[in-house]
Amino acid sequence: MIQRLVRFKVEEKYPSLNQWYSGKHWGSRNSMKKRWLNLFKGMIAVADIDEIASFEIVLQFNTGYDVDNNIPIVKVFSDALVESGVVDNDNKKFWKDLSIHYDDTLPKNTAIINLYYTPIITDL
């Protein structure tokens, strides 16, 4: 199967897992999610992604966070893939793997979301 790669660059510090849940009111968390969801949906819209049969995400980051504190941004990105209509769901049928790596070669407060995906081939 053909696998494609699309990279999404985030050049601002996003909320960590600790920030997301540390005593914040649900309305505050919801506002954060909406902001990032809309940002990612805009990025996905211009990325020319074919309909996805399956995908993997590799996150590279230099935010100062521990590896596990990057989970919220990955979750919101996968939700944006679904809401953008490029994949039916972000469950295990479609989302096959996740890797998160600290990368000190990136500028500070930068992350790269590498989306590896297999497109649905419709014209045989």
pTM of this prediction?
0.92
Q: What is the CB neighbour count within 10 angstroms for residue 108?
A: 9
Q: What is the CB neighbour count within 10 angstroms for residue 89?
A: 11
- Cα–Cα distances (Å) from 62 to 33, 39, 50, 114, in that order, read 21, 19, 29, 14
pLDDT tens digits, 99-111: 999 999 999 999 9
- Cα–Cα distances (Å) from 18 to 14, 66, 68, 69, 118, in that order, read 11, 10, 10, 7, 33
Instruction: Tell me the domains of the chain and their CATH numbers.
Output: 4-119 (3.30.1330.70)
Average pLDDT, the chain: 92
pLDDT tens digits, 28-66: 778 888 999 999 999 999 998 989 999 999 999 999 999
pLDDT tens digits, 6-37: 999 999 999 998 887 776 666 777 888 899 99
Q: Kindly report the backbone phi and psi dihedral angles of residue 58, in degrees, each rounded to the nearest multiple of 5, phi listed first.
A: -120, 115
Burial class from Cβ neighbours inside 10 Å (0-12, 13-18, 19+) for residue 15 reads: buried
CB 6 within 8 A of CB 118: no
